[in-house]
């Protein structure tokens, strides 16, 4: 029987099936961080259960870390305690940890791919919903809760019902200035925030085939914002070239053997999906969000739609926007380029390319936060840091930062922030903050102009 | 995990769609390393303003409403995977969340903490919401064994679905770790066979 990419990997990882119930799914790689792991470690300790496969776990500190002066002791007592707990838990259980300051430290969904930990055909989990990012490599990767973190600690397995399959196909040629972020914001704006719930999504079509791994990660990252537990893209030469020679990638003939296996993974030509959507690349433009969920997005040239329901009205009221109005010329005082969605080297190249020779607007506070130490080093190496600094920008140190504002990087109440992150929920970037999601290009342009501009007019 | 069989309680209406886990428990409260105390901050930024003043318009602060059942709008629990959201709702005293749709990860987290995510049809949700809003004294009965939710002392009810395995876990207070540990030999055999 023909199988999808998802079916092939899933079926190879099923240990057992409970009659009329879930399946026992084997997990190859477990990524952990400081926020969603401590209670799981406690749980095992209380029940005297050892960690079953510590060498299949990799830890990093990212959610709750400062993005300046990382060499100094952390001021916030609770944050400090949480990071110390992670270090202790990893040390006590022989788990590899890339703690703050380590050359491999970074946002979990940035550092694992760049180290070659993420590979096609694997099952990967993390106590973070944006684990869907790793699906860009043709892996089954998804976010889990802390109880499930404890389950994987105890057994390297999870009890799960196989999700349904969904395919989103985008063919055609993307217009100038349209980035992977715009593609996924467009898809979510068309499908809504819960259309993917209960599904695993595969992205297909030449638009994704032509994308870099960075771009594919941006797309898969936001699968959860349409409700899908994970997103995937078939592994191909782009994938293999990206993985080759990375720290934890297989080497030599092992690599060749793996590639031969990875080539068997793409969905069979006649594989049937439970749900299919098809879009035309030509219809996609640079996107912005205007509301308080990622599905509330429009092309930058469009106006906010008019809808007559109370949740929609509540959302616009929070954002202080009017239905029917445009976001162009909206004054913006905060810009954030970072997060597991858009903090990879390519994102900073896009931003630097636009910023080069220009100046940051005086009214704008801009935070440029690389996704990892390695990205930070690369930014310096390529001379991008100099471009940013000459334009009046400051490059910060890696971490999740203002995406969820657990640390001090908070947007003040009532202020708008054009952000390359993934969620525009109420207060997501600080109490009372108003988030407008966009690509790194739109964010960079906003920082230079001090307001949202029609980027499509500035590219030719 | 506490056992769950039958609950008869008043309910609190929350007529908002797409309630995300950042609203249920904002990120700044995720710095704890245990599961305690999250209930105090459930829906923090809807219950209180930035200066800590109570928002009396919010249903959880309305003294007319009480109970261990929350009646919520469509697509409840979307967003972050933080299980702190389930801990916060349980900590506040909720045992059942009723909605016409739940986000995947939240649903799993709730079940793993003895909190029942009870999915009803949109039309039944509308009836429940309206009834509770108009008469806060209304009691709602949730019978897990028979998989029914009803307005007490009426014949207005609906059946609901739940995974049979999860139902057994809820009724007996088991969790998945117990089950997975019982499969350890099988898991080890699987690892060897894959090499």
Contact A449, A361 (CB under 8 A): yes
pLDDT over 70, % of chain A = 100
Average pLDDT over residues A250-256: 98
Q: How far apart are CA A205 and CA B105, in angstroms?
A: 28
For A194-213, the pLDDT digits (tens) are 999 999 999 999 999 999 99
> Is the confidence at residue A460, as pLDDT, over 70?
no
Q: How far apart are CA A421 and CA A435, in angstroms?
A: 9
Q: How far apart are CA B107 and CA A52, in angstroms?
A: 26
Closest chain A C-alpha to B155 CA, distance in angstroms? 30
Q: How far apart are CA A183 and CA A282, in angstroms?
A: 11
Flag if B179 and A159 touch (Cβ within 8 Å): yes
Burial class (CB in 10 A: 0-12, 13-18, 19+), A414: exposed
From residue A450, how far is each of A118, A182, A390, A443, A446 by CA, in Å?
A: 38, 21, 17, 10, 5
Q: Point out the residue among B30, B164, B181 whose CB comes nearest to the CB of A154.
A: B181
Contacts of B32 in chain A (CB under 8 A): 78, 82
Task: Identify the closest residue of chain B to A26 by CA–CA distance.
Answer: B187
Find which of B83, B168, B184, B193 to mutate to test the A interface (most A CBs within 10 Å of its CB): B83
Burial class (CB in 10 A: 0-12, 13-18, 19+), A318: middle
Candidates B73, B72, B89; CA nearest to B24 is B89
Q: Which of residues 13-72 of B touch A (CB under 8 A)?
A: 15-18, 20, 22-23, 26-28, 30-35, 45, 50
Flag if A26 and B73 touch (Cβ within 8 Å): no
Contact A429, A405 (CB under 8 A): yes
For B109-153, the pLDDT digits (tens) are 999 999 999 999 999 999 999 999 999 999 999 999 999 999 988
Find which of B177, B188, B189 to mutate to test the A interface (most A CBs within 10 Å of its CB): B177
Contacts of B30 in chain A (CB under 8 A): 35, 63-64, 406
Q: Point out the residue among B109, B166, B177 whose CB comes nearest to the CB of A154.
A: B177
Neighbours of A317 (CB within 10 A): 10
Candidates A222, A232, A241, A217; CA nearest to A265 is A232
DSSP A98-158: E-TT-TT-B-HHHHHHHTT---TT-EEEESSGGGGGGGGGS-EEEE--HHHHHHHHHHSEE
**What six digits make up the tokens of B146?**
């028979």
For A139-174, the pLDDT digits (tens) are 999 999 999 999 999 999 999 999 999 999 999 999
Flag if B176 and A148 touch (Cβ within 8 Å): yes
> Is the confidence at residue B7, as pLDDT, over 80?
yes
Flag if A147 and B16 touch (Cβ within 8 Å): no
- Interface check for B112 against chain A (CB to CB < 8 A): the answer is yes
Burial class (CB in 10 A: 0-12, 13-18, 19+), A190: middle
Task: Identify the closest residue of chain A to B81 by CA–CA distance.
Answer: A129
Contact A343, A369 (CB under 8 A): yes
Closest chain A C-alpha to B128 CA, distance in angstroms? 18
For A204-239, the pLDDT digits (tens) are 999 999 999 999 999 999 999 999 999 999 999 999
Q: Point out the residue among A159, A198, A428 whose CB comes nearest to the CB of B22.
A: A428
- Specify the pLDDT at position B50: 84
Q: What is the ipTM of this complex?
A: 0.95
pTM passes above 0.80? yes
Residue A192 is classified by DSSP as -
């Amino acid at each position: 029987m023909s199988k999808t990419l998802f079916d092939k990997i899933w079926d190879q990882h099923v240990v057992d099936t409970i009659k009329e119930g879930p399946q026992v799914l084997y997990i190859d790689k477990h990524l952990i961080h400081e926020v969603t792991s401590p209670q799981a470690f406690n749980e095992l300790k209380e029940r005297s259960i050892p960690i079953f496969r510590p060498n299949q776990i990799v830890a990093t500190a990212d959610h709750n870390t400062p993005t300046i002066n990382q060499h100094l002791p952390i001021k916030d007592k609770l944050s400090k305690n949480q990071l110390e707990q992670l270090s202790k838990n990893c040390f006590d259980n022989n788990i590899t940890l890339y703690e703050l300051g380590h050359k491999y430290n970074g946002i979990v969904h940035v550092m694992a791919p760049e180290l070659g930990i993420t590979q096609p055909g694997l099952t990967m989990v993390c106590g973070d919903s944006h684990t869907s990012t790793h699906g860009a490599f043709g892996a089954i990767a998804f976010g889990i809760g802390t109880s499930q973190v404890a389950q994987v600690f105890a057994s390297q397995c999870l009890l799960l019902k196989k999700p349904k399959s969904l395919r989103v196909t985008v063919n055609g040629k993307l217009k100038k200035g349209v980035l992977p972020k715009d593609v996924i914001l467009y898809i979510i704006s068309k499908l809504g925030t819960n259309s993917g719930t209960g599904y695993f999504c595969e992205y297909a079509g030449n638009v994704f085939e032509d994308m870099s791994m960075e771009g594919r990660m941006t797309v898969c990252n936001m699968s959860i914002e349409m409700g899908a537990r994970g997103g995937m893209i078939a592994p191909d030469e782009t994938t293999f070239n990206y993985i080759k020679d990375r720290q934890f990638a297989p080497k030599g003939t092992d690599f060749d053997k793996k590639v031969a296996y990875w080539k068997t993974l793409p969905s069979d030509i006649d594989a049937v999906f439970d749900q299919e959507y098809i879009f035309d690349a030509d219809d996609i433009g640079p996107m912005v969000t205007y509301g308080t969920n990622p599905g509330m997005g429009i092309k930058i040239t469009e106006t906010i739609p008019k809808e007559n329901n109370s949740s929609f009205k509540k959302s616009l009221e929070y954002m202080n926007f009017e239905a029917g109005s445009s976001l162009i010329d909206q004054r913006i005082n905060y810009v954030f380029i970072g997060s597991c969605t858009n903090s990879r080297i390519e994102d900073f190249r896009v931003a630097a390319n636009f910023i080069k020779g220009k100046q940051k607007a005086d009214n704008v506070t801009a935070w440029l936060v690389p996704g990892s130490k390695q990205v930070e080093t690369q930014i310096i190496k390529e001379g991008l840091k100099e471009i940013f600094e000459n334009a009046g920008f400051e490059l910060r140190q890696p971490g999740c930062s203002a995406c969820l504002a657990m640390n001090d990087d908070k947007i003040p109440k009532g202020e708008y922030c054009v952000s390359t992150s993934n969620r525009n929920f109420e207060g997501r970037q600080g109490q009372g903050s108003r988030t407008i999601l966009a690509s790194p290009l739109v964010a960079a342009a906003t920082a230079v102009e001090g307001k949202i501009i029609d980027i499509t007019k500035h590219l030719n | 995990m506490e056992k769950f069989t039958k609950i008869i309680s008043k309910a609190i209406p929350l007529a908002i769609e797409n309630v995300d886990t950042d609203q249920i428990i904002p990120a700044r409260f995720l710095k704890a390393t245990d599961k305690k105390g999250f209930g105090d901050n459930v829906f923090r930024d809807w219950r209180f303003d930035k200066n800590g003043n109570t928002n009396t318009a919010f249903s959880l602060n309305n003294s007319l409403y009480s109970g261990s059942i929350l009646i919520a709008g469509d697509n409840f629990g979307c967003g972050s995977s933080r299980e702190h959201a389930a801990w916060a709702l349980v900590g506040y005293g909720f045992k059942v969340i009723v909605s016409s749709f739940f986000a995947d990860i939240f649903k799993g987290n709730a079940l793993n903490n003895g909190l029942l995510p009870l999915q009803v049809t949109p039309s039944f949700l509308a009836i429940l919401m309206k009834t509770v809003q108009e008469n806060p004294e209304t009691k709602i009965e949730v019978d897990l064994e028979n998989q029914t939710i009803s307005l007490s002392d009426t014949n207005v009810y609906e059946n609901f679905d739940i995974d049979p395995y999860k139902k057994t876990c809820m009724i007996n207070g088991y969790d998945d770790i117990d089950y997975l540990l019982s499969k350890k030999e099988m898991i080890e055999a699987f690892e060897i066979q894959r090499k």
